[in-house]
Amino acid sequence: MKSMLKMSKRKLKTADIKSVNTTPSIHDFSEAEKNQFRSLLLKWYDEKKRDLPWRKQALNPDINQRAYAVWVSEVMLQQTQVATVINYYNKWMGKWPKLQDLAKANLEEVNELWSGLGYYSRGRRLHEGTKKVVEELGGEMPKTAEDLQKLLPGVGRYTAGAIASIAYNQVTGLVDGNVIRVLCRMRIMGGDSTGQAVQDKLWSHANSVVDPERPGDFNQGMMELGATICTPKSPSCDSCPVKEICLAYSKVEQEKQKSAMKILTNNNNSITDIECLADTCPLCFQQEDMWEPSNGVENYPRKGKKKAPREERTDVCIVCRRRQESKDEYLIVQRPNKGLLAGMWEFPSLLQVEEAQNPTDIILDKSCGASLQTTGKSQHIGEVVHIFSHIHQTYVIQAITIEEGEVTLNTEQPPSRWVSKEDFLECAVSTGMKKVFKAFESPLSPKSSNTKNKKTANKPDDKQRSISCFFKPKVSS
């Protein structure tokens, strides 16, 4: 009897502890909500999903090719809009339909096809990854999210989750920008969404709400919802399939109800607030006044302060070679195989130190070992600003026109070559360099110069196109 009592006490204690630990927080989904979330989202996804090329490719009966097709799309979609990716994806899959085809390509071709998509290391890593699969893994893609992340270069937790759930049907969640927005709003998480506490909670939610039968569709559904309905600005809550279990939506509706009641009765105390009851909670707004009623559901998510990009100024020299019998040609130089824009081509360029402009002969010598035998003067064209994720780059452009034989190239320096305008636009050059070329060409055409003049005069803050000094070309060296 004594021992039975002891046992039931012990049981009671364990049960108590359990109930304390599992007290649902407002930021959690109950089991019923999870089920509701799955069925509402999948129903909507089946009806509304966009017809995207990678969705067809993901049906390939060959598991390795299916994974490759998803891998390519997911890498391209990081930091890039769907509308932009479609064309690149079709071209890519047309050129390298199998992972073995991509493994055989060279980096130059990869950069060429990637040109204009930005974040060039993505294409390079994808290429390295397929080489690894062919050369070291016998052509077999790793078959779980964990192995994908461990074995393939450039495959992080998100991409691994996407490939594994979409191509292998592995029950694993994923978190990208769209999912962050949807989940932070659904569970009113206003803490820094890039911070550890919110990130951990998001991954835990993603892994626990994912549909066990259709993980790939559920994950795509959540991303599709974030991209088309639960958008950063002006989300379409009224047509959202999961609004009935969305706390941000309920909170906004409640605010409306409270103000209506206050107007009618001067009292709104009968409505219980939707709020987190924890004293201190890393998932909630970190300051009390952070909820701004006029922002509605857009109060979520919140991001910590981003590090300001560093300012750089780079001198760019466009050397145009006049040819008797054929078109003008331009000198381009290949960047090193590591670092920013690795392996891409550009006009001879040299970073300014302390904002001091480099003379033409120094730019040419230091960037590609070229020396001019001409006495011609270079012309200052203007400036173009291009923003990379971490660099605010200003290209200070000058141009010089020479005749054949007036420049000597040093073959021991980084690879350099002459290209026509058409070749330049086709080869592996960055968007920033294309802007530089456009600025160079614009003053030659009075019509386009006028158009640009009007635009820039009215938009001094249009940073991507701040071309100055267009109409007063001056001799710089």
**Which residues are marked as active site?**
74
Q: How far is the CB of 235 from ligand SF4 (least distance, A)?
A: 4
Q: Applying CB under 5 A, does 283 fall inside the site for Zn ion? A: yes
**Considering only residues 105, 107, 171, 281, which one is a binding residue for Zn ion as defined by CB under 5 A?**
281
Contact string 350-389 vs Zn ion (x = CB under 5 A)? ----------------------------------------
Identify what 284 binds: Zn ion, ligand SF4, none; CB under 5 to 8 Å per kind. Answer: Zn ion
Q: How far is the CB of 29 from ligand SF4 (least distance, A)?
A: 13
Block residue for tokens 């509605």: 296
Q: Could you give the CA distance from residue 167 to residue 215 in angstroms, rounded to a whole number?
A: 10
Judged by the rule CB under 6 A, the positions of this chain that interact with ligand SF4 are 182, 185-186, 229-230, 235, 237, 240, 242-243, 246, 248-249, 297
Q: Applying CB under 5 A, does 197 fall inside the site for Zn ion? A: no
Q: 398-419: string of b/e by CB count within 10 Å (b at 16+)?
A: bbbbbeeebbebeeeeeebebb
Considering the complex, state which of residue 98 and residue 181 has its C-beta at the smaller distance from ligand SF4. Answer: 181
Considering the complex, state which of residue 252 and residue 399 has its C-beta at the smaller distance from ligand SF4. Answer: 252
Name the E strands within 293-440: 310-322, 329-334, 345-346, 349-351, 371-372, 379-387, 391-403, 407-408, 416-419
Stretch in the footprint of Zn ion (CB under 5 A) among 56-64, 228-236, 284-292, 298-306: 284-292
Considering the complex, state which of residue 133 and residue 229 has its C-beta at the smaller distance from ligand SF4. Answer: 229
Report H helices in 215-343. 215-228, 247-265
Q: Could you give the CA distance from residue 126 to residue 337 in angstroms, rounded to a whole number?
A: 15
Q: Could you give the CA distance from residue 200 to residue 261 in angstroms, rounded to a whole number?
A: 38
Identify what 385 binds: Zn ion, ligand SF4, none; CB under 5 to 8 Å per kind. Answer: none
Q: Which of 331, 469, 357 is nearest to 409 (CA)?
A: 331
Residue 290 is classified by DSSP as: G
**Considering only residues 284, 341, 368, 396, which one is a binding residue for Zn ion as defined by CB under 5 A?**
284
Q: Applying CB under 5 A, does 180 fall inside the site for Zn ion? A: no
Considering the complex, state which of residue 242 and residue 384 has its C-beta at the smaller distance from ligand SF4. Answer: 242
Q: How far is the CB of 36 from Zn ion (least distance, A)?
A: 22
Q: What are the distances in angstroms from CA 20 to CA 10, 24, 205, 275?
A: 15, 9, 20, 19
Q: Applying CB under 5 A, does 276 fall inside the site for Zn ion? A: yes
Q: Which of 164, 160, 161 is nearest to 149 (CA)?
A: 160
DSSP structure string for 16-66: HHHHHHTPPPTTSPPHHHHHHHHHHHHHHHHHH----HHHHHTT-SSHHHH
Q: Could you give the CA distance from residue 97 to residue 69 in angstroms, rounded to a whole number?
A: 8
Considering the complex, state which of residue 151 and residue 274 has its C-beta at the smaller distance from Zn ion. Answer: 274
Q: Could you give the CA distance from residue 48 to residue 38 in angstroms, rounded to a whole number?
A: 15
Q: How far is the CB of 25 from Zn ion (least distance, A)?
A: 7
Identify what 93 binds: ligand SF4, Zn ion, none; CB under 5 to 8 Å per kind. Answer: none
Q: How far is the CB of 27 from Zn ion (least distance, A)?
A: 6
Query: Per the structure block, which two tokens stand in for 309?
Result: 């990009």
Q: How far is the CB of 386 from ligand SF4 (least distance, A)?
A: 33
Considering the complex, state which of residue 186 and residue 428 has its C-beta at the smaller distance from Zn ion. Answer: 186
Q: How far is the CB of 360 from ligand SF4 (least distance, A)?
A: 55
Residue 447: Cβ within 10 Å count: 8
Q: Sort 11 into a burial class: Cβ within 10 Å, 0-12 / 13-18 / 19+.
A: exposed
Identify what 281 binds: ligand SF4, Zn ion, none; CB under 5 to 8 Å per kind. Answer: Zn ion
Rounded to 5 degrees, φ, ψ at 323 are: -125, 140
Identify what 92 binds: ligand SF4, Zn ion, none; CB under 5 to 8 Å per kind. Answer: none
Q: Applying CB under 5 A, does 248 fall inside the site for Zn ion? A: no
Considering the complex, state which of residue 77 and residue 276 has its C-beta at the smaller distance from Zn ion. Answer: 276
Site residues (vs Zn ion, CB under 5 A): 276, 281, 283-284
